[in-house]
Amino acid sequence: MKKTFGGPSIFLDRNDINTDEIIPAKYLTEVTKDALKPFCLEDLKLEGFDPNGSKLKKARVIVTRQNFGCGSSREHAPWVLEVNEIHTVIAESYARIFRQNMFNCGMLAIELPKDQIDSLFKLEQSSKEGVEIEIHLEEQVIVASNEMSKERFNFKISPFDKALVEAGGWVEYADARY
Amino acid sequence: MGQTTAEKIFSSHLRDEPFPGTKVLDLDRVLCHEITTPVAIADLEWRGKDRVFDNTKIKAVIDHVTPAKDSKTALQAKILRDWAHRHEIKDFFDVGRNGVCHALFPEKGYIRPGFTAIMGDSHTCTHGAFGAFAAGVGTTDLEVGILKGVCAFREPKTIRVNLVGQLATGVFAKDVILYVIGELGVNGATDRVIEFHGPVVERMSMDARMTLCNMAIEAGGTCGICQPDMVTVEYLWPFIQADYQDKAAALADFQKWTADEDAEYDKVLNFDVTGLEPQVTYGYKPDCVKPVKDMTGTKVDQVYIGTCTNGRIEDLRQAADILKGHLIADTVRGIVSPATPKIFQQALQEGIIQIFMDSGFCVTNPTCGACLGMSNGVLAEGEVCASTSNRNFNGRMGKGGMVHLMSPATAAATAITGVITDARTLSA
């Protein structure tokens, strides 16, 4: 089933946030996605970030820097985002397996160049209530707004990744085709 | 224009190219363990598609937490076990016959030059040591692999790493790969294959080549690949002798996967390993690498020898060479996990297990163990572990714990002194 994208955002200002920080290995003993829900980003050490805070609870989009999701192949990382209704990550770059896992789950791992990620962070820094992000998948446009201003960014995802999102994931896509 | 090894494998396994640049490959191996496979199995059942594409190409093992430590891990093992039995997956390895996947599957001869393999485990890149394309994937890719025998990739570019010169005594493949990762950075090889070349690799055993390829993912690499040669043939010979007239014929066949002289690389890096010192990580990223001499004296609470990086027989021999005749420091908990039952038995026969036990090490069954803080050997807050594994992420071995990655020789020397130590500085 195709997912919904966009909403309130949380900004994680660091490179190389790894899968162990997104979901620690000790929770990999769970056999359902829902059981992961309370442990999202539990081991992430970042100034001002609280894994139990309302900001993360409300967030539907993560904005971050380079190489997000590096490390383990565990799909538990996208799953813990999925069950917390975070279906979109916007970053400068990703680790390959994490990026593929996101699209395989029918979720969005959007890449933007550094200057545009910087602009998003500026928008966040100048806001009180945070940044609201709209995703227009057809047009491949992001609209980010705070209380004062609104900015538009074009993004590109590969036709294959787009097809996976449209299909609702890789299992659906592959099952129909192979 | 010539082709890299990965390009040759991609061309020969191409099932579909749904969009330019997206290659759907036929898989020779779909490898499974009990952490990432159960959710795929449950999803297939939920979809009413509890089938497997080919039960001879699927191999499965319980290795991360084994024997089960609690009800949850017992359930994970049971889901995998029941599934393997249900689909008559003959090559399924349970307690007593199981070991760390990336040591066990190569040892069984399942990986051959030119093969494609996926597993729901990032260190699947290890199998590239045989001249194969082997990639870690998530559970959804694994699920499709199990059901359809295919996986989609962006055709990776290749970074060629030429290793020249002569490794000094006491410096090993682990030191080389730590150094290379330090140079590449943790995302230096993202969407890239790392192809290892040069006389240093040619002189390496398969055990050492697997150590090299195992950590390709720590630079973001999709796969590490070594060129198949007579060392590869010798390792695989017990499994392939019925297929070839002689070893020369096997070699000739394997070498069709060798990268062409005029292959195009994204980047070519040359490292002269002469003068390379033993390496160790600091901090929480595997590219934070220093010579051991710059970390000497750092106190550790635990030393862990084993894992898919360094739990093979050569690794245990290297550690035992250092440990022989020594006791480990009173302040250190030493843990060794031979990676497979075969390695364990060989270590017993060679007296290596005796050396470990005499020195004060705890010897565990073959398992992933302390490496990822899921089963035994978990660190307490503020504790430090010297480890032969591949990841030093914050909390990796237990919340608030610190991990320093190093070779088995450095780990053994560190166990003896209780502080990070260059094994070459120990007096016999």
Domains and CATH numbers, chain A: 6-177 (3.20.19.10)
- pLDDT of res. B57: 98
Nearest alpha carbon to residue B64 among A39, A99, A74, A17: A74
Residue position matching structure tokens 């000497």: B296
Over residues B291-306, the pLDDT tens digits come to: 999 999 999 999 999 9
Could you give the residue range(s) of every CATH 3.30.499.10 domain in chain B?
Answer: 5-270, 279-425
In 3D, which of B323, B304, B310 has the Cα closest to residue B385?
A: B304
pLDDT tens-place string over residues B76-99: 999 999 999 999 999 999 999 999
Predicted local confidence at residue A118, as pLDDT: 98
Predicted pLDDT of residue A1: 73
Residue range B244-266: average pLDDT? 98
pLDDT higher than 70, residue A169:
yes
In the predicted model, what is the mean pLDDT of residues A143-159? Answer: 97
Rounded CA gap, B185 and B233, in Å? 33
Rounded Cα–Cα distance for residues A79 and A10 (Å):
17
Tens-digit pLDDT profile for residues B127-168: 999 999 999 999 999 999 999 999 999 988 999 999 999 999
Walk across the sheet containing B157-164 and list its strands.
B223-226, B192-197, B157-164, B267-272
Residue-wise pLDDT for B212-232, tens only, equals: 999 999 999 999 999 999 999
At residue B428, does pLDDT exceed 70?
Answer: no
What is d(CA B366, CA A3) in angstroms, rounded to the nearest whole number?
42
In degrees and rounded to multiples of 5, residue B239 shows phi and psi of -95, -15
Backbone angles phi, psi at A154, to 5 degrees: -90, 140
pLDDT score, position B225? 98
Nearest to A67 among B16, B75, B190 (CB): B190
On the CB side of A32, CA atoms within 13 Å amount to 5
Instruction: Output the pLDDT for position B70.
Output: 96
Nearest to B65 by CA among A62, A51, A175, A25: A25
| The domain over range B5-270 is classified in CATH as 3.30.1360.120 | no
Q: Write the pLDDT tens digit of every residue in A8-54.
A: 999 999 999 999 999 999 999 998 999 999 999 999 999 999 999 99
Question: Quick one: which of B193, B190, B195 has its CA closest to B209?
Answer: B195
pLDDT, position B155: 85
- Tell whether A171 is within 8 A of chain B (Cβ): yes
Arithmetic mean of pLDDT, B330-352: 98
**Cβ separation B39–A158 shorter than 8 A:** no
Q: Could you tell me which of B349, B281, B291, B276 has the C-alpha nearest to residue B316?
A: B349
Beta-carbon separation of A101 and B396 below 8 A: no
- What pLDDT shows up at residue A122? 97
> Has residue B176 got a pLDDT over 90?
yes
Q: Which residues of A touch B391 (CB under 8 A)?
A: 20, 71-72
Chain B contact for A112 (CB, 8 A cutoff) = no
Domain B279-425: homologous superfamily in CATH: Aconitase, domain 3 (3.30.499.10)
Q: If you average pLDDT over residues B48-62, what whole number do you get?
A: 98
The answer to whether residue B258 scores a pLDDT higher than 70 is yes
Helices (H), A42-140: 54-58, 76-83, 96-104, 114-125
State the DSSP string of B18-46: EETTEEEEE-SEEEEETTTHHHHHHHHHH
Is A25 within 8 Å of B121 when comparing Cβ atoms?
no
Average pLDDT of chain B?
A: 97
Percent of chain A at pLDDT > 70 equals 100
CB contact under 8 A, A31 and B186: no
pLDDT of A2 reads 84
CA atoms within 13 A on the CB side of B214: 28
Query: Does a cis peptide bond (omega within 30 degrees of 0) precede residue B106?
Result: no
Distance between start and end Cα atoms, chain B: 54
